[in-house]
Amino acid sequence: MVYTEELRIKDEKIDNAIKVLKNEFIGIDEQIENILNNMRTWYLYPNLQDRPLVISLWGLTGVGKTCVVKRIAELLDIEKDMVYFNFAEIGECTSWEIENKLEEELSNDKSNRMFIYDEFQYAATLDAMGNEKDKKSGLKPFWELLDNGKIHKRDNFWAARQMYQLLRYFIRINDFEPMKIVNGEWVNAEECLSGFTYYERSKFKNYFQWEEKNKIGDNEEDAIEEFDGPMSNERYETLVDENSHNTFFIRQSYIERLMNLLDQNGNTSSDILDFHHRLTKMNIDEIIELIDSACNNAMKGYDLDFRNSIIFVIGNLDEAYEMALDVDPDMSPDQFHKATKNITIVDIKKALQQRFRNEQIARLGNIHVIYPSFTSDTFRKIIKLALDNYAKDVFELTGFKLTYDKSLIDIIYKDAVFPTHGTRPIFSSVHEFVKSKFPIIVHDIAVIDNNTDNIEINYSFKRKNTIVKAYKGNDLIYERKFKEKLRLEELRKSTKDEEQALVAVHESGHFVMYAKLHNKLPEKVCSRTTDKSTGGFLLKDVDDYNGIETKEELMNDIKIALGGYVAETVVFGYRNISNGAQSDLRTATKIASRIVRDYGMDNFDCVVTTYLMNAIELNDNGGILFDSNISDTNSKIKRIIGICRDEVQATFQDLVWKNMLKKSAEYLAVHSSMPKNKINEIYDEIPDKYKKSDNTDTFYRDKLKNF
């Protein structure tokens, strides 16, 4: 095939779609290019495919998966060929309901379709225990489509039943008196029907139409009503209308169904008028044979062929995006972004294994477009884009020019952004801060000045108020303050109370030990958060974990976990420590347990011997339980925790680190969080000789070199 003008235009549409989408969707440029570049061959040369092209999109909610795909359909002008399935709904359907949905959505008139399998996580065939789920057999057609692009389909049950009924009525009537059909008209209808009751004739009227010699009399109508219940006006008109035929004795709806059953293999050249004309040339035996063939087709079913199609599989995988369940708005979007940026195709396939069988995962192929969560900068750009788009719409529809100060973007960011929830909370907050006020503002301005031409309306935020000012030229003509109910900012507000002072010391203990042991600084330290159950937290650098857990690193993790607990004892004394260290102590114990039970780092010989003797038992997490010496194992765990606790205590008694603990706690007792510049400032006061200087990034390679 040469590069035709049509192909050139399609190529340009793909390139243009990439540009448009990058302007409309912020922070997913790489994903947009990946999707459309993979689509290009399908869009230009679909007939070169021997199976559907499958592109899977995975990410947190609200990052632009489904809406991007639907927008692509608009930009490439293929909306009419798009078939959308939401598996959140389909997953609750019976097999019969799914088949009916497919019946409505699909036909063989076009093999080059764009399928969207949205919310695909709900199509899971395995439960949490890895067992096969019940009532998932109805999803078989969707898996067949993913595999080879073909779906074996049976006709609508009721349509097939009615065709069988039509054949049965033909046989009954013909057995009584052979039917004579001339140019599509049933010329001996009265003779053929003379042996049937009025009720039976009324049933035949549903399928056939004929010219009656005499209209139905009152007595006949009464007889039918007595037999079949009250008669509707529509039913009565069907029975008495002598001119209801349209040149053929089988009613038009059944002619269409007959044609569809005979034309199951995608012969789109068939035309209802041509088919109608063919029928008028047939005798009764040929017509019955044709209907019998249609009934056989209904029984066998047929294949729908969509090998030339593209299938988008879209879903949220909490197993790959572990942070998906964290709804704390105080967590750093940048940290989430760094973590999700590291998710690979292997992570995705491992996550899929918890929901699907391997042969099902294989059908999804290897084109997996992985969306990271948004950075803080991306969230701000999305807010600005939403405001700009609204300003554009307002200007086009009303003529008012809307502008916004940075202060408005800042407050929407602070009060709307939940890092794992994507864009949706932002759009609702833009409505609340801006859109909901616009009708009020316009009304107020119209009262002041009926001439609303060339008016600029500016939004800003200050001291819990959205401030709106309207200008005509350089003149301020209107100003109003709207008191805002800040949902998140109020929760973050520093209380400077006893609880915050306690949390400040606790989190500062974690901060000091983290900085000392890692020679790096946390992203954030908080003494008051929006989540009342959290109290405070220290947000570590997401790059801390390099995939290798040495004994030294595990011991350091225990010391950091114990930092808050020990800091409370040093500052307040043992009698005044709080229950806030509960989760930290549990974390420290789990790590120490892994050192002894799982990794054999405390007594290697003992573990090896135990393995060789096969005298072991595994706990739920795969850890080794020594029935014979459980007391000795627990003693080792306690000893590890004790060693770590003593080192943390010694750190806080050292004047240099004690001073850092004090300054950090004093700051956090007054401020709800410590920004990165303050973290740096406090740590910079530590003399260099106290800071860890050895670089472990190349430890194993260096040791190997010198071996």
Q: State residue 297's pLDDT score.
A: 80
* Cβ–Cβ < 8 Å for 64, 371: yes
Answer with the one of 300, 319, 339 that is the final residue of a domain.
300
Tokens 């003693």 sit at which residue?
635
Mean pLDDT of the chain: 84
- Report the CATH number that the domain containing residue 60 is assigned in CATH: 3.40.50.300
Q: Are residues 283 and 384 in the same domain?
A: no
CA distance 678 to 701: 36
* Cβ–Cβ < 8 Å for 36, 17: yes
**Comparison of pLDDT for 472 and 156, the residue scoring more:** 472
Instruction: State how far the alpha carbon of 283 is from the alpha carbons of 182, 287, 464, 553, in Å.
Output: 8, 6, 86, 90
Q: State residue 485's pLDDT score.
A: 86
Q: State residue 543's pLDDT score.
A: 64
CA angle (369, 374, 376) in 5-degree steps: 160
279 closest CA partner among 183, 193, 371, 397: 183
Number of domains the chain contains: 4
Structure-block tokens of residue 247: 């040149």
* Cβ–Cβ < 8 Å for 149, 306: yes
Q: Are residues 132 and 217 in the same domain?
A: no
Q: Are residues 65 and 164 in the same domain?
A: no
Q: State residue 247's pLDDT score.
A: 67
Which of the four pLDDT bands, split at 50, 70 and 90, describes residue 624? very low
Residue 17: DSSP 8-state: H
Helix (H, G, I), strand (E, B) or coil at 18: helix
Helix (H, G, I), strand (E, B) or coil at 140: helix
Q: State residue 263's pLDDT score.
A: 73
CA angle (303, 309, 311) in 5-degree steps: 105
**Comparison of pLDDT for 391 and 228, the residue scoring more:** 391
Quick: pLDDT tens for 206-224. 999 988 765 444 444 443 3
User: Is residue 444's pLDDT more than 50?
Assistant: yes
Per-residue pLDDT, averaged over 393-399, amounts to 94
Count other C-beta atoms under 10 Å from residue 557's C-beta: 21
pLDDT-above-70 percentage for the chain: 84
For the ranges 248-252, 535-539, 666-670, the maximum mean pLDDT occurs at 666-670
Answer with the one of 370, 401, 418 that is the final residue of a domain.
370
* Cβ–Cβ < 8 Å for 307, 182: no
Which of the four pLDDT bands, split at 50, 70 and 90, describes residue 67? very high
Structure-block tokens of residue 82: 């798009």
- Report the CATH number that the domain containing residue 457 is assigned in CATH: 1.10.8.60
Residues spanned by the domain of 293 = 157-300
Q: State residue 670's pLDDT score.
A: 94
Q: Are residues 275 and 340 in the same domain?
A: no
pTM of the predicted protein model: 0.74
Q: Which residues pair with 460 in a beta bridge?
A: 467
CA distance 202 to 235: 9
Q: Are residues 362 and 468 in the same domain?
A: no
CA distance 525 to 510: 9
Q: State residue 581's pLDDT score.
A: 83
Q: Are residues 415 and 556 in the same domain?
A: no
Q: What is the edge-to-edge ordering of all strands in the sheet holding 401-404?
A: 401-404, 455-462, 465-472, 475-483
Structure-block tokens of residue 33: 């290019």
Which of the four pLDDT bands, split at 50, 70 and 90, describes residue 457? very high
Least confident of 21-30, 94-103, 146-155: 94-103
Count other C-beta atoms under 10 Å from residue 455's C-beta: 21
Q: Are residues 288 and 330 in the same domain?
A: no
CA distance 380 to 539: 21
CA distance 87 to 123: 6
Residue 198: DSSP 8-state: H
* Cβ–Cβ < 8 Å for 351, 552: no
Residue 250: DSSP 8-state: B
Count other C-beta atoms under 10 Å from residue 428's C-beta: 12
What is the residue type of 168?
Answer: R
Per-residue pLDDT, averaged over 292-311, amounts to 85
CA distance 161 to 299: 10
Q: State residue 608's pLDDT score.
A: 43
The per-residue b/e assignment along 382-397, b for 16 or more CB within 10 angstroms, e otherwise, is bbbbbbeebbeebeee
Least confident of 152-156, 195-199, 554-558: 152-156
CA 487 to chain centroid: 26
Q: Please give the backbone phi and psi of residue 674, each rounded to the nearest 5 degrees, phi first.
A: -110, 115
Quick: pLDDT tens for 601-620. 876 444 444 443 344 444 54
Quick: pLDDT tens for 11-38. 999 999 999 999 999 999 999 999 999 9
Per-residue pLDDT, averaged over 232-240, amounts to 41
682 closest CA partner among 666, 700, 705, 702: 666
Q: Are residues 147 and 172 in the same domain?
A: no
Q: State residue 486's pLDDT score.
A: 87
User: Is residue 95's pLDDT more than 90?
Assistant: no
Q: Are residues 325 and 456 in the same domain?
A: no
**Long-range CB contacts for residues 148-151, cutoff 8 Å, separation at least 24:** 148/51, 148/307, 149/49, 149/51, 149/52, 149/305, 149/306, 149/307, 149/308, 149/309, 150/303, 150/304, 150/305, 150/306, 150/307, 151/102, 151/106, 151/303, 151/304, 151/306
Q: Are residues 165 and 146 in the same domain?
A: no
* Cβ–Cβ < 8 Å for 249, 181: yes
Q: State residue 259's pLDDT score.
A: 86
Quick: pLDDT tens for 330-362. 778 888 888 899 999 999 999 999 999 999 999
Helix (H, G, I), strand (E, B) or coil at 588: helix
Q: Are residues 365 and 397 in the same domain?
A: no
Q: State residue 304's pLDDT score.
A: 79
* Cβ–Cβ < 8 Å for 356, 121: no
Per-residue pLDDT, averaged over 617-634, amounts to 58
Give the CA count within 13 Å in the CB-facing half-sphere of 299: 7
What is the residue type of 382?
Answer: I
- Report the CATH number that the domain containing residue 544 is assigned in CATH: 1.20.58.760
Quick: pLDDT tens for 471-523. 998 999 999 999 998 877 777 788 888 999 999 999 999 999 999 998 889 98
Q: Are residues 333 and 451 in the same domain?
A: no
User: Is residue 434's pLDDT more than 80?
Assistant: yes
What is the residue type of 546?
Answer: N
Q: State residue 325's pLDDT score.
A: 65
Q: State residue 701's pLDDT score.
A: 80
Answer with the one of 370, 388, 420 that is the final residue of a domain.
370
Q: Please give the backbone phi and psi of residue 116, each rounded to the nearest 5 degrees, phi first.
A: -120, 115
User: Is residue 109's pLDDT more than 90?
Assistant: no
Residue 456: DSSP 8-state: E
Count other C-beta atoms under 10 Å from residue 422's C-beta: 22
Q: Which residues pair with 461 in a beta bridge?
A: 466
CA 647 to chain centroid: 47
What is the residue type of 304?
Answer: L
